[in-house]
Structure 1
C-alpha cells in the first residue's frame, strides 16, 4: 500500500501542521460499532481520523486508536465542536469532554462544526486559539463557513486556520472558496467526497474508471486528490471499501478525465441542514 502523503500548507497560515491528504471519516458511525471499523482503517494504513462530538463515537475512535498501538505522533486526529457550544465557556467544556472520550492528551485539529448565526466569531476563535496555545490542540479550523465568514475569520480576526472542511465532490463546485483558500495557503478538506454514495453510481465516473480498472468511487476520490490543496476524508464501513479508497491515491487523471468530470453538474449540494449558512452570501 502506498503511504499517504502529508499536505503541508503555508507555515504562516497553519504553523506548519502536516495533514495527511487522505483521511478516514466517521460520520454516521455512532457508538461502539465505530471501534472495529476504525481499527480496520488504521490497520490498513489510514493515519488521519476525522470525528466530531456530534457523531457520538469519540470514545469508540479513542478505543480504536489505543488498540492500534500506533505511535501518537504518527496519527492526525480531528474532532469538532457542535454549533450550540460556541460560547467560550461551553466550548472549553465541550473540548475537555471530547478529549476525555478520545482518551488523548491532545488532538491535532479542533474545528467549529457549523457556524451559529448568533455566535461571537471573534470570541469563539479566540477561545480555540487559547486551546492551541495550551498545546491541547495542535491546530484549529472551521467547517461549513461561507466565503464572507472565512474572510472575517482569516483577515479580520486573524485566526490561524489550519484547514476548512466543506462538502465537496464531483457534483458540487467549490471554485470560489478554493481560490480564496489557496491564496492564503489553507487546505480544503472535502467531506462527503462520494456525494453520499451517488458518485459510486455515476455512469460518467464508472466509464472513466473502466479504462484503468478502477471504480467510479475511486475516480471521484482521485479527482479530488488531483487538485492542489485538497484533503479527502471518505468513510467506509467495510475493509474492502476502505482499501479501495486508499488505492485511489495511485490513480493519475489525464486531461480527458478532467474534462469529463468538469462537465458533470456542479450545483448539487446534498448536506442541507436548516441551520446551514447562506452559501450565496457576498458579505456578513
Structure 2
C-alpha cells in the first residue's frame, strides 16, 4: 500500500462516511505514547477515536495537531461518559472535551454507554443542540442494544451516524449489523483483536495460515468483511502499519468468513 494513500481512498462506512480504519487510543496516556496518533495520521489513517473516560483527550489533541494532516481531513471522535449524560452535563463536558482536544468541533460525539445519568429524551436533546451549534458534526452511540437504538432514533432530530460496539470473532452481534444497514449507520468495532485472544482461536489461526498472515490481520479483515469500521489500538509503527494493511488490503473469501462466523464460544471483554 502506498504510504501516501489514505483510508479515504479505500473505504468509508455508513451515510456519514465514517473512515473504515481508525486508531483507538485507550491506554495512550502520555505525550510519548500519543505520538502514535501523529505517526498513524502521517501513515494514512484519518480516523482517531478517544473518550472522556480515557483521560487522554489533551495528549491526543496535541498529537493530532502535531502532524502534517489538516484538521479538516481528520475524523476525530470522542465519547461522553455515563456520569456526564444529564442534559446540562453533556453540554458542559462536551465543551471541555473540545478544549482538551484543542479543536472547535469533533466529527463524532458518542453516548459512551446508556447507563447512569442517561435519559433518552434529555441526553439526546443535548446532543442535538451541540450539533445545531456546530460543536459536533455527527451524533453517535456506543454499547447500545437494538431496542436502545430504536428508542434513541425516536428522540433524536439528528441521524445516528455510528454505533460503536465491541465486535470481534469471539463476540459478534449480527443483529446490530442488520439494524445498522437498515438505517444507513456505521458500526464501529472496538477491540477488534479481542485483546489479542484471537491468536489463540483455532479457526482464526487456520485462516491466517491459509493466507500466510497473522491472526490479528485476519480478525481485522473479518470485521471489515462484515461491514464494520475498525479502531484497533496500536502504539508501534510496525503494528500501525500492519493493522492498516490488514484492514484495507487483506481479503477473506466467503469460506473464511463462514468459518470464523461459526466459532462456538463467546468472550465479551467489556460487559456493562
More helix by share: 2
**Greater mean deviation of Cα atoms: 138-147 or 194-203:** 194-203
1:240: which partner in 2? Answer: 238
Question: Would you say the 8 A contact 1:173–1:266 is kept in 2?
Answer: no
Q: Does 1:221 align with 2:224?
A: no
Q: Tell me how far apart the structure 1 counterparts of residues 13 and 222 of structure 2 sit (CA, whole Å).
A: 20
Q: Does 1:257 align with 2:256?
A: yes
TM-score in terms of structure 2 length: 0.92
Task: List runs of 5+ in structure 2 lacking aligned partners.
Answer: none
Do the aligned partners of residues 183 and 39 (structure 1) sit closer, same or farther apart at CA in structure 2, a change above 3 Å counting?
Answer: same
Q: What does 1:124-203 correspond to in 2, within 5 Å?
A: 124-155=123-154, 157-203=156-202
2:141 partner SS? strand
1:3: which partner in 2? Answer: 6
Task: List runs of 5+ in structure 1 lacking aligned partners.
Answer: 11-16, 277-284
Aligned alpha-carbon RMSD (Å): 1.6
Q: Tell me how far apart the structure 2 counterparts of residues 61 and 244 of structure 1 sit (CA, whole Å).
A: 21
1:267: which partner in 2? Answer: 266
Question: Would you say the 8 A contact 2:86–2:117 is kept in 1?
Answer: no
Do the aligned partners of residues 203 and 33 (structure 1) sit closer, same or farther apart at CA in structure 2, a change above 3 Å counting?
Answer: farther
Deviation, 1:49, is 0.2
2:194 partner SS? coil
1:196 partner SS? helix
Q: Deviations over 1:253-275 (max 9, x none)?
A: 11221122122135321112xxx
Deviation, 1:193, is 0.4
1:13: which partner in 2? Answer: none
Q: Tell me how far apart the structure 2 counterparts of residues 120 and 225 of structure 1 sit (CA, whole Å).
A: 32
Do the aligned partners of residues 140 and 237 (structure 1) sit closer, same or farther apart at CA in structure 2, a change above 3 Å counting?
Answer: same
- Runs of 4+ that moved beyond 3 A: 155-159
Deviation, 1:40, is 1.8
